[in-house]
């Protein structure tokens, strides 16, 4: 099976879930990192310059033996199965993992919606309000879902759910998003512990050392 994983050269959660799942499972894949300007062109045409089809004019995109697969969740589950981080015979556990992939998308959309505001001061204020209100409420929901008996979000093994939550919260607590305080996990100790457990995992550390820019802010855990 020939795999090509296409995204821009940044460790955003939408790509990292699939990339890391393949890496942790020792699954060979071509880690194709395109330039942003090439993606902007492909958003219009639905194709890269080499003819690679992006089904919904979006990335990430996974090419499996020449077949293009889009959408974060679909790619995450496919890569998770190959990498051993997503169950193939426990449908309840699979559904439990799925809900956290979707939850990560919810958090992403919640914050990204503030980009509609073009006035930088108003955008900054909108994100401050978000952190005190809707985002804090969402994180409270997530905290209540955390297991008290396991480091992992769906006991008892590391899964793509853990990687998704680790990276999306890493993005939100890194200081990259102006207006969001980096200490938003201070009131959510079990969620914070999950992020720490993922961040310290030996294979995660290996991936970070191989692919992340030096001193990249992975998050405030």
The answer on pLDDT for 148 being more than 90 is: no
CA gap 213, 184 in Å, rounded:
24
Q: What is the mean predicted confidence (pLDDT) over 119-136?
A: 97
* pLDDT at residue 118, as a whole number: 94
Q: pLDDT-derived band of residue 177, with 50, 70 and 90 as boundaries?
A: very high
Q: Distance between CA atoms of 139 and 71, rounded to whole angstroms?
A: 24
Q: What's the pLDDT tens digit per position in 43-102?
A: 999 999 999 999 999 999 999 999 999 999 999 999 999 999 999 999 999 999 999 999
Q: pLDDT tens-digit profile of 2-30? A: 999 999 999 999 999 999 999 999 999 99
The pLDDT of residue 93 is 97
**Peptide bond before residue 205 is cis, with ω within 30 degrees of 0:** no
Instruction: Give CA–CA dist 184/169, Å, rounded.
Output: 9
- pLDDT tier at 130, thresholds 50, 70, 90: very high
pTM as predicted = 0.96
Domains in the chain, please, with CATH?
3-83 (3.40.30.10), 91-211 (1.20.1050.10)
- 81 to each of 1, 12, 78, 86, 211, how far by Cα in Å? 14, 21, 5, 5, 22
Confidence of residue 138 (pLDDT cuts 50, 70, 90): very high
């Amino acid at each position: 099976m020939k795999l090509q994983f296409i995204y821009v050269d940044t460790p955003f959660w939408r790509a990292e879930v699939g990339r890391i799942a393949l890496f942790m499972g020792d699954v060979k894949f071509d880690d194709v990192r395109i330039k942003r300007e090439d993606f902007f062109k492909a958003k219009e045409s639905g194709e890269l310059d080499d003819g690679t089809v992006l089904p919904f004019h979006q990335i990430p995109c996974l090419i499996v033996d020449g077949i293009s697969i889009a959408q974060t969740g679909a790619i995450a589950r496919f890569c998770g199965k190959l990498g051993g981080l997503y169950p193939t015979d426990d449908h309840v556990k699979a559904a439990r993992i799925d809900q956290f992939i979707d939850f990560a998308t919810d958090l992403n959309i919640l914050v990204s919606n503030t980009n509609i505001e073009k006035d930088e001061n108003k955008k900054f204020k909108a994100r401050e309000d978000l952190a005190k209100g809707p985002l804090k409420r969402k994180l409270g929901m997530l905290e209540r879902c955390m297991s008290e008996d396991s480091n992992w979000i769906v006991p008892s093994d590391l899964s793509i759910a853990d990687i998704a939550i680790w990276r999306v919260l890493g993005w939100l607590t890194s200081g990259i998003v102006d207006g969001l305080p980096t200490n938003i996990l201070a009131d959510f100790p079990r969620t914070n512990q999950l992020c720490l457990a993922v961040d310290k995992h030996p294979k995660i550390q290996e991936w970070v050392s191989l692919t992340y820019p030096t001193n990249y802010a992975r998050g405030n855990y």
